[in-house]
A and B are shown apart, each in its own frame.
Chain A
Amino acid sequence: MELLPFFEWAETSFLGYIGKTYGGVYATFGQSVHLMALAVLGGSVLIADLRLLNVILKDVPSEIVADQAHKWFKVALAVILSSGVFMAAAVAQRMYYNDFFWAKMSALLVGIIFVFAVKRPLLNGTHADIHPMVIRLVAIASILIWFSVAATGRWIGFSG
């Protein structure tokens, strides 16, 4: 499927027009909000995963930590996706030809599938019933995936 026409349309859309025309709006409502949401998303991932790895909050049940962190993960993810769409629309054609943009989108897709299809279903029950090695592997994979999403996102700006 040819995606270029969609990216060309996105740049001429209302969101694309706003982001392209008003640099201040793009930088604050796009980039800064994206970064703040990244902080909350990263915090929720690290708190849950470092607890699963027995690094922090060892005296708090991991079920409580994982559940509470997941609530804020969902909020942060929604803000990241909204601000990300706004930012990408303003420079859509440049994004289409940017390898790091596609790397980030791939990592993001893997991250979302991993959280909602693997991590959450697995951690919904009592954690003591799950093999400790499985919990550790899930936590390490989660940290690696979300750091990859963030790092590839930053490198979009350095390339193209």
Chain B
Amino acid sequence: MINEILVQFAEWLYATGGSRAIEESFYLYNWIETTHVLTIMLCLGMLAFIDLRMLGYAMPDVSASTIADRLNIPMMIGFSIMFITGLLLFYAKPTYTNQSIWFRIKMVLLVVAFFNAIRFHRHMKASESTWSNEPRAPLNLRVSAALSLGLWAGVVTTGRLIAYDWYHCYRDLPGWLSAAAGCVAE
């Protein structure tokens, strides 16, 4: 049922003028995608340094809360640009992307990464005065930091794999994979 609704929504988006304009413009589409990829350097670059600091592998001489606070703003600016360009990329190819198993896994990983980030910040704010100058954060924060790096590696990988149609609906897929990819009977 949900897959039928998503397909209808994707087909409606696909029929809009804006969607066609972006996909059919060689430079517009490719520059949106380039911006989406380049913002990795800002968003995930900052995130990686925050997580590596918590794990004790980057800037151990600098207070962990200072690193997290100061790098949070550029990271969020990068994330906002990635989010907007990501929406535009989906808008340009909604029918293909909606039925990509990689896109769906990427969305799940993003949601899990979001909740992990909330948990991370909550724990950090509650306890930072006791350990911020230590080279490594307490175990629960190190677990969150490692999880964050793993989840974002998954987001990058699945994001890259969206371009590949190995498991797309026009292939011969097993039932569970067909349902997970959002395939519906024609």
State how many angstroms separate the Cβ of A30 from the closest Cβ of chain B.
Answer: 10
Q: With A23-B166, A151-B34 known to touch, is A39 a contact of B157 (CB < 8 Å)?
A: no
**B66-A59 in contact (CB<8A):** yes
**Binary contact track B151-169/A, C-beta < 8 Å → 1, others 0:** 0010011001100101000
Give Cα A57 to B49, complex, Å: 13
Count of CB-CB pairs between chains A and B under 8 Å = 105
Q: Which residue of B has the minimal Cβ distance to A71?
A: B58
State how many angstroms separate the Cβ of A86 from the closest Cβ of chain B.
Answer: 14
Complex contacts, A50 vs chain B, CB 8 Å: 74
**B70-A56 in contact (CB<8A):** yes
Give Cα A4 to B52, complex, Å: 42
State how many angstroms separate the Cβ of B103 from the closest Cβ of chain A.
Answer: 15
Q: Which of B36-44, B92-100, B120-128 lies at the binding interface?
A: B36-44
**A150-B41 in contact (CB<8A):** yes
**A38-B70 in contact (CB<8A):** no
Q: Does more than half of chain A's interface fall in helix, strand or loop, or is it mixed?
A: helix
State how many angstroms separate the Cβ of A54 from the closest Cβ of chain B.
Answer: 12
Complex contacts, A24 vs chain B, CB 8 Å: 166
Give Cα A60 to B53, complex, Å: 14
A84 at the interface (CB under 8 A from B): no
**B45-A47 in contact (CB<8A):** yes
Q: Which of A24, A64, A65, A158 has the most CB of B within 10 A?
A: A158
Q: With A27-B164, A68-B59 known to touch, is A42 a contact of B40 (CB < 8 Å)?
A: yes
Quick one: which of B30, B40, B58, B73 contacts A38, CB cutoff 8 A? B40
Give Cα A56 to B50, complex, Å: 13
